[in-house]
Copies of this chain bind each other. A is one copy, B any other.
Amino acid sequence: MTMGHPALLTDHYELTMVSAALKDGTADRQSVFEVFARRLPPGRRYGVVAGTGRLIDLIREFRFSTEEIDYLLERSVVDEQTAAWLAAFRFQGDIEGYAEGELFFPGSPILTVSGTFVECVMLETLALSVLNHDSAIAAAAARMVTAARGRALIEMGSRRAHEEAAVAATRAAYLAGFSSTSNLAAGMRYGIPTAGTAAHAFTLLHDDEATAFAAQVAALGKSTTLLVDTYDIAQGIRTAIAVAGPDLRAIRIDSGDLSVLAHHSRELLDSLGATETKIIVSGDLDEYSIAALAAEPVDIYGAGTSVVTGSGAPTAGLVYKLVEVDGRPVVKRSEHKATIGGRKTAVRRHKPTGTATEEIVVSQGAPEQRTGDRLLQRPYVVGGEPVDLPSLADSREHLRQGLISIPWEGLKLSAGDPAVPVTVVPAS
């Protein structure tokens, strides 16, 4: 499956703006674009930066093939002058931003792209596609991880998302603290542990459940998970232990009232001597249903649809706005009053205990540094050259620490205000 370059994953108007700017001499004006959210999805208390590493990899390959340029010329999307410019295009500017796994709030400048107008405007669509998707998934996944209270979560939603979005969703869910995934491509590309054993189809393929379980144990050993709810669950559990013995690793229940079933299944497993056999539950779990199972003897949650669709918020609401031209702050007049032009620098303030209290975002200057302040921006690309990035494991730990640092109300699943206020200070 060979795709085109990422450069064509771009809105038509980016290229018509490039055309017009190349013609009237404004193309090389030094510009600063910022990515930020005007608001969080309704009731959400934090956002999670995710996808920046993926974006930087895509920008590395962001150039136009001859075939693509021919297409653009043929359809009169661009003229010859612009076509020549596109053929030579490489991003030579700078990108800085919040680390992956960093929390963000309305007004946080999570990515800053600077360079000539034309090279920066070209990245808008791709930057927003990647960050809006991955950040939406990471935020939903982080809430599920909080709700799971230390129990493991398997991401198994690939079938409910576009086939490539599913791979990115897996990466974002792992960043947010999920333990493993069903998605093999994500396993191979990002080194994420994969998991999976059998579906109901495997039981139905066989003449009876015992034969199916025996075939699975013969192939995969006792450290497998037997899916016990194809027919009668209690009978399924008895059959599972009869076939695999009491050292079966796990059973999975994918339907029914999971609270009741987990409870009864634990008692039954214990009565059969399978006291170490784990219980995995799945089936349309979201952060709320996971939280509702906290008191039940569940060992592992499988989450699918809800995590890959952002649990009601499938896109993060991030925008990419021109904030500075040749050193002059610019702003769309009719926008929300809080929008302030100029390149921003951001710090997060903390109490001596480590709890975050506020984020200070200063236009065209640097916030006064105090004890407990943490600068939030780091370089990603310098003069067109990507710098070394943290590993996915590092980003995962970064988020884990970030969630410890916010005020405790920030971790509540109920609707509320952003956990940390952002103050944007205009250029003086």
A:165-185 near B, CB below 8 Å? 165-169, 181-185
- Contact of B13 with A185 in the complex, beta carbons under 8 Å: no
A124 to B322, alpha carbons, bound, how many Å?
44
| With A194-B77, A218-B20 as contacts: A71 and B332 at CB distance below 8 Å | no
- Inside 8 A of A409's CB, which chain B residues have their CB? none
| With A162-B162, A163-B6, A322-B205 as contacts: A219 and B23 at CB distance below 8 Å | yes
Interface centre among A5, A10, A308 (most CB of B within 10 A): A10
Give the contacting residue for A332; candidates B4, B224, B230; CB below 8 A: B230
- Inside 8 A of A201's CB, which chain B residues have their CB? 17, 33, 117, 121, 124, 321-322
| With A6-B163, A23-B215, A205-B322 as contacts: A12 and B58 at CB distance below 8 Å | no
A255 to B332, alpha carbons, bound, how many Å?
11
- Contact of B23 with A218 in the complex, beta carbons under 8 Å: yes
- Contact of B188 with A11 in the complex, beta carbons under 8 Å: no
- Contact of B24 with A200 in the complex, beta carbons under 8 Å: no
A375 to B244, alpha carbons, bound, how many Å?
47
- Inside 8 A of A71's CB, which chain B residues have their CB? 187-188
Interface residues on A, range: 35 or more
A202 close to B (CB within 8 Å): yes
A242 close to B (CB within 8 Å): no
Give the contacting residue for A206; candidates B26, B79, B125, B211; CB below 8 A: B26
| With A20-B219, A315-B309 as contacts: A26 and B205 at CB distance below 8 Å | yes
A134 to B218, alpha carbons, bound, how many Å?
39
- Inside 8 A of A194's CB, which chain B residues have their CB? 12, 75, 77
A231 close to B (CB within 8 Å): yes
| With A9-B166, A129-B159 as contacts: A20 and B333 at CB distance below 8 Å | no
Per-position binary interface string of chain A over residues 127-169, scored 1 when its CB falls under 8 Å from any chain B CB and 0 otherwise: 0111011100000000000000000000010111111111111
- Inside 8 A of A393's CB, which chain B residues have their CB? none
A204 close to B (CB within 8 Å): yes
A388 close to B (CB within 8 Å): no
A68 close to B (CB within 8 Å): yes
A198 close to B (CB within 8 Å): yes
- Inside 8 A of A218's CB, which chain B residues have their CB? 20, 23-24
- Contact of B4 with A2 in the complex, beta carbons under 8 Å: no
So how many copies of this chain end up in the complex? Answer: 2
A201 to B75, alpha carbons, bound, how many Å?
24
- Inside 8 A of A24's CB, which chain B residues have their CB? 211, 214-215, 218-219
- Inside 8 A of A23's CB, which chain B residues have their CB? 215, 218-219
A:61-85 near B, CB below 8 Å? 61, 68, 71-72, 75, 77, 79
A390 close to B (CB within 8 Å): no
A14 to B184, alpha carbons, bound, how many Å?
10
A6 to B185, alpha carbons, bound, how many Å?
9
A368 close to B (CB within 8 Å): no
Interface centre among A31, A167, A224, A335 (most CB of B within 10 A): A167
- Contact of A21 with B202 in the complex, beta carbons under 8 Å: yes
A398 close to B (CB within 8 Å): no
- Inside 8 A of A163's CB, which chain B residues have their CB? 6, 9, 58, 126, 129-130, 133
What 13 new A-B contacts, CB under 8 Å, besides A124-B201, A162-B162? A1-B3, A9-B184, A11-B184, A12-B187, A13-B198, A14-B199, A121-B199, A125-B159, A128-B160, A129-B162, A133-B161, A133-B163, A230-B333
What are 27 A-B contacts defined by CB distance under 8 Å?
A3-B3, A9-B158, A9-B163, A9-B184, A11-B183, A12-B194, A16-B220, A16-B224, A17-B201, A17-B202, A19-B219, A20-B198, A20-B216, A20-B220, A21-B202, A24-B211, A26-B205, A26-B206, A31-B205, A77-B187, A129-B166, A132-B159, A133-B163, A159-B320, A162-B165, A232-B334, A310-B314
